[in-house]
């Protein structure tokens, strides 16, 4: 019997999702658990796996279409059934008018255009946004797979072809014979960019932020990192130490590991730290779970793996939804100090600046050269008061300045 495939709730409380591209064509066979399409959620592009098998009879939405949860997007038929059977079951479906327009008929199977182009989800999304044909791009990935770098290179080679000049008349000067020319290019918003804009606007306008800044002496940590990395198979970064120090401080000051709800302050029994990662599509915060149970090398390995998969748009929803505390590190960009916006419903985010050499006064009152890192803690004042936040920040600094303590 023909089976209707509907847009699932690919993320918690999602009402819509964008179908980025189909992995199958009409007429293709598909097995249970196999991907039929790539779908863009609020934060990532994921594969949409079906729980049925058969032949793809109808693809009901075009690439790039935003579809409401529950709306039919495809129809599968069993052996012995025809496309007419698929059409009949669609006609008997009450929501048939809610679906988008049909995808245009596929090219003949023997044609070059009908051959599937192997590419990463991020590469397909970038190519779509910039109007590039993946068939014309040479892939540098495994087995010729097109990756993000290949599309970015094609965009660069495309030069100024995506830039349009649009006349703009000066306000109040309609009688002018000549209008000014303004060159610009528009990049349509992705679901991810819309979500970032909505969530951060809500956070900044509804969450009462306050900020605490501290300077951390980094000399001991840098020396320990150098010693570890002389023999470690996985090279440890300064950021790995920062994540572990934050986790240890949250263990010591559990009242900071909370979020605000209308009914209560929710205290989490596990330290799950969201790590801000910049991707081509926007900012995403993959979550390192149960950090206090992990070694420094485990933390280092998992952060790198999550960051790589974030940039490829391959995170599962459970890998970026939730978390009890966030860290945003812009030190690698040379930023001395900044204040980050809280990631609701979390109650705090730590903004980390660069490690800089500067004169410091030691405990003996002597001026000497020191390595200093400035960190700013943004806090939700509804859930956490100033003294508590200051206590946590002091604990964090102790671990940073005496890093061997956090390894015990």
Catalytic residues: 381
Distance CA 104, CA 205 (A): 44
- Tokens 């979500």 correspond to 195
The CB-side HSE value for 3 (13 A sphere, CA atoms) comes to 15
> Around Cβ 165, how many Cβ atoms within 10 Å?
10
N-terminal to C-terminal alpha carbon distance within the chain: 61
**Is the Cα dihedral 154, 156, 161, 164 positive or negative?**
positive
- The secondary structure of residue 313, as a DSSP letter, is T
Q: What angle do CA 157, 125, 148 make, to 5 degrees?
A: 55
**Cis amide leading into 345 (omega within 30):** yes
> Residue 348 pairs with which residues in a beta bridge?
379
Q: Which residues contact 169 (CB under 8 A, 6 or more apart)?
A: 176, 179, 180
Q: Are 5 and 56 in contact (CB under 8 A)?
A: no
Q: Are 68 and 7 in contact (CB under 8 A)?
A: yes
Helix, strand or coil, per DSSP, at residue 223: helix
Cβ neighbours of residue 80 closer than 8 Å, sequence gap 6 or more: none
Q: For 301, what's the count of Cα atoms within 13 Å in the CB-facing half-sphere?
A: 8
Round to whole Å and give the CA distance between 46 and 14.
14
Q: Which residues contact 262 (CB under 8 A, 6 or more apart)?
A: none
């Amino acid at each position: 019997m023909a089976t209707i495939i509907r847009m699932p709730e690919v993320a918690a409380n999602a009402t819509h999702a964008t179908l980025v591209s189909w992995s199958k064509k009409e007429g293709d066979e598909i097995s249970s658990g196999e991907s039929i399409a790539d779908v863009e959620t609020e934060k990532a592009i994921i594969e949409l796996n079906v729980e049925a098998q058969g032949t793809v009879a109808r693809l009901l939405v075009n690439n790039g279409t935003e579809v409401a949860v529950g709306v039919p997007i495809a129809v599968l038929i069993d052996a012995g059934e025809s496309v007419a059977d698929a059409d009949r079951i669609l006609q008997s479906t009450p929501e048939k008018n809610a679906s988008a327009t049909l995808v245009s008929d596929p090219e003949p199977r023997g044609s070059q255009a009908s051959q599937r182009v192997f590419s990463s989800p991020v590469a397909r999304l970038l190519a779509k946004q910039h109007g590039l044909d993946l068939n014309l791009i040479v892939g540098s990935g495994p087995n010729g797979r097109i990756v993000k770098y290949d599309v970015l290179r094609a965009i660069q080679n495309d030069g100024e072809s995506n830039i349009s000049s649009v006349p703009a008349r000066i306000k109040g000067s309609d009688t002018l014979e000549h209008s000014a020319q303004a060159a610009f290019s528009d990049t349509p918003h992705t679901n991810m960019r819309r979500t970032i804009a909505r969530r951060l606007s809500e956070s900044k306008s509804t969450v009462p932020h306050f900020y605490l800044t501290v300077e951390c002496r980094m000399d001991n940590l840098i020396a320990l990192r150098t010693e570890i990395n002389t023999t470690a198979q996985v090279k440890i970064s300064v950021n790995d130490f920062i994540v572990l120090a934050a986790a240890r401080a949250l263990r010591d000051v559990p009242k900071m590991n909370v979020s605000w709800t209308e009914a209560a302050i929710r205290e989490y029994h596990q330290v799950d730290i969201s790590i801000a990662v910049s991707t081509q599509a926007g900012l995403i915060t993959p979550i390192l779970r149960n950090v206090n149970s992990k070694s420094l090398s485990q933390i280092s390995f998992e952060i790198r793996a999550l960051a790589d998969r974030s940039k490829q748009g391959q995170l599962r929803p459970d890998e970026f939804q939730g978390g009890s505390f966030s860290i945003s590190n812009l030190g690698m960009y040379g930023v001395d100090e900044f204040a980050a916006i809280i990631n609701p419903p979390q109650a705090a985010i730590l903004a980390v600046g660069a490690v800089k050499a500067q004169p410091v006064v030691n405990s003996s009152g002597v001026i000497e050269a020191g390595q200093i890192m400035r960190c700013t803690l943004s806090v939700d004042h509804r859930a956490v008061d100033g003294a508590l936040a200051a206590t946590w920040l002091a604990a964090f600094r102790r671990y940073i300045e005496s890093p061997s303590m956090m390894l015990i």
